[in-house]
């Protein structure tokens, strides 16, 4: 039994990962700013950390064998004010810096750190016919999410010099019924409305939550994995394809497709509407060549399991 430390373990992906790790016989310690709010159960316990204050439970670090680093303020949880954008960036960068400091000063047996990142690294698809999917060697885009992802990954770069194996999973839209984007797409469909955003042509690079969990476990266990990998399926879909397939599986033919004008999204979401309307086509070639096999490669298979 190994002890796995998780930051951001109380979020959607973190909860799913915790369940999988416990089922595999591991011990899990979840870092949180308020461990007293949570009740330890079996092999799952909670430890204190606060990236903004630079504090972390030293005993937890000493006992761990691997870290799964998911912590970060939700990108789509609130409207993007300058204050919120700073919170989104700082919550990621400060967390990485704190882990580096802890692992460099506290005796530990941590051999690998698997960190969340995001396909926001790449920016929008080029405005050319049939753009080539983004691959991992592409430079970070110069917009807010691109620069945030770059700083996020760089905050953990010192770990390599410490002899730690570091893996970054640049994650697309994770489909799950417990939260995230899919839950938002489902809301109007429950009332018979398939809400297609703008013209619906923007490409979505996505991943089923079960495949997301399996990627983290594989990245943690497979010593050949190192550096950045795109955590997306090989088959991205347009917003229109996703919404209509979801509506079909939820309601058969009893729904009405409606295009939501982009201007309404811009009024309601502000700067964040750029991300909602952005088309980003990302390659899964590297992770497939590393041997990862998708349980839910197509949108039809993924939504069938989630909806049913």
Q: Roughly how many angstroms between the first and final C-alpha of the chain, as a whole number? A: 34
Question: Taking a C-beta distance cutoff of 8 angstroms, is the pair 123, 64 a contact?
Answer: no
- For 253, residues 6+ apart whose C-beta sits below 8 A from its C-beta are none
Low-confidence spans in the chain with pLDDT less than 70? 264, 267-269, 271-273
In the prediction, which pLDDT does 264 show? Answer: 67
| Residue 94, token pair as written in the block | 């400060």
| Residue 98, token pair as written in the block | 């704190």
> CA 98, CA 100: separation in Å to the nearest integer?
5
Integer-rounded Cα radius of gyration of the chain: 19
In the prediction, which pLDDT does 115 show? Answer: 98
Look-up of token digits 């005993």: 59
Percent of the chain whose pLDDT exceeds 90: 80
Q: Each residue of 81-124: pLDDT tens digit?
A: 899 999 999 999 999 999 999 999 999 999 999 999 999 999 89
In the prediction, which pLDDT does 278 show? Answer: 85
Beta strands in 224-273 (DSSP E): 227-231, 237-238, 256-260
What is the set of domains in the chain, with CATH numbers?
3-173+208-232+281-294 (3.40.50.720)
> CA 253, CA 83: separation in Å to the nearest integer?
44
Strand partners, 68: 6, 114
Question: Taking a C-beta distance cutoff of 8 angstroms, is the pair 33, 57 a contact?
Answer: no
CA distance readout (Å), 252 to 194, 240, 307: 12, 16, 12
Helix (H) or strand (E) holding 216: helix 209-221
Q: Each residue of 6-35: pLDDT tens digit?
A: 999 989 999 999 999 999 999 999 999 999
Biggest alpha carbon–alpha carbon distance for the chain: 60
In the prediction, which pLDDT does 180 show? Answer: 85
In the prediction, which pLDDT does 17 show? Answer: 97
Query: Between the CA atoms of 157, 158, 161 and 165, what dihedral angle is there, to the nearest 10 degrees?
Result: -50
For 268-274, which contacts have Cβ atoms below 8 Å and span 24 or more sequence positions?
A: 269/79, 270/79, 270/80, 271/80, 271/144, 272/75, 272/76, 272/79, 272/80, 274/143
In the prediction, which pLDDT does 75 show? Answer: 85
């Amino acid at each position: 039994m190994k002890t796995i430390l998780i930051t951001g373990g109380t979020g959607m992906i973190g909860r799913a990962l915790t369940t999988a790790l416990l089922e595999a016989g591991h011990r899990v310690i979840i870092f949180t700013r308020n461990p007293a709010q949570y009740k330890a159960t079996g092999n799952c316990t909670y430890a204190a950390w606060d990236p903004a204050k630079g504090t972390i439970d030293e005993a937890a670090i000493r006992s761990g064998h691997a870290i799964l680093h998911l912590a970060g303020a939700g990108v789509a949880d609130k409207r993007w004010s300058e204050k919120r954008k700073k919170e989104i960036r700082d919550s990621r960068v400060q967390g990485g810096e704190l882990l580096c400091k802890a692992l460099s000063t506290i005796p530990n047996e941590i051999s690998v750190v698997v960190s969340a990142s995001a396909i926001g690294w790449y920016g929008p698809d080029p405005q050319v016919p049939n753009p080539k999917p983004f691959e991992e060697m592409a430079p970070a885009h110069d917009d807010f999410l691109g620069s945030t992802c770059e700083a996020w990954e760089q905050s953990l770069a010192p770990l390599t010099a410490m002899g730690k194996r570091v893996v970054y999973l640049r994650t697309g839209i994770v489909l799950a019924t417990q939260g995230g984007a899919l839950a938002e797409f489902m809301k109007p469909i429950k009332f018979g409305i398939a809400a297609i955003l703008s013209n619906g042509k923007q490409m979505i690079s996505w991943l089923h939550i079960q495949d997301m969990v399996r990627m983290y476990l594989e990245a943690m266990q497979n010593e050949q994995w190192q550096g950045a990998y795109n955590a997306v399926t090989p088959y991205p879909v347009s917003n229109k394809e996703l919404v209509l397939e979801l509506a079909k599986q939820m309601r058969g033919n009893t729904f009405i497709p409606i295009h939501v004008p982009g201007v309404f999204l811009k009024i309601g979401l502000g700067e964040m509407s750029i991300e909602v309307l952005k088309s980003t086509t990302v390659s899964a070639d590297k992770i497939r060549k590393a041997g990862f096999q998708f349980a839910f490669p197509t949108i039809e298979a993924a939504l069938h399991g989630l909806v049913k």
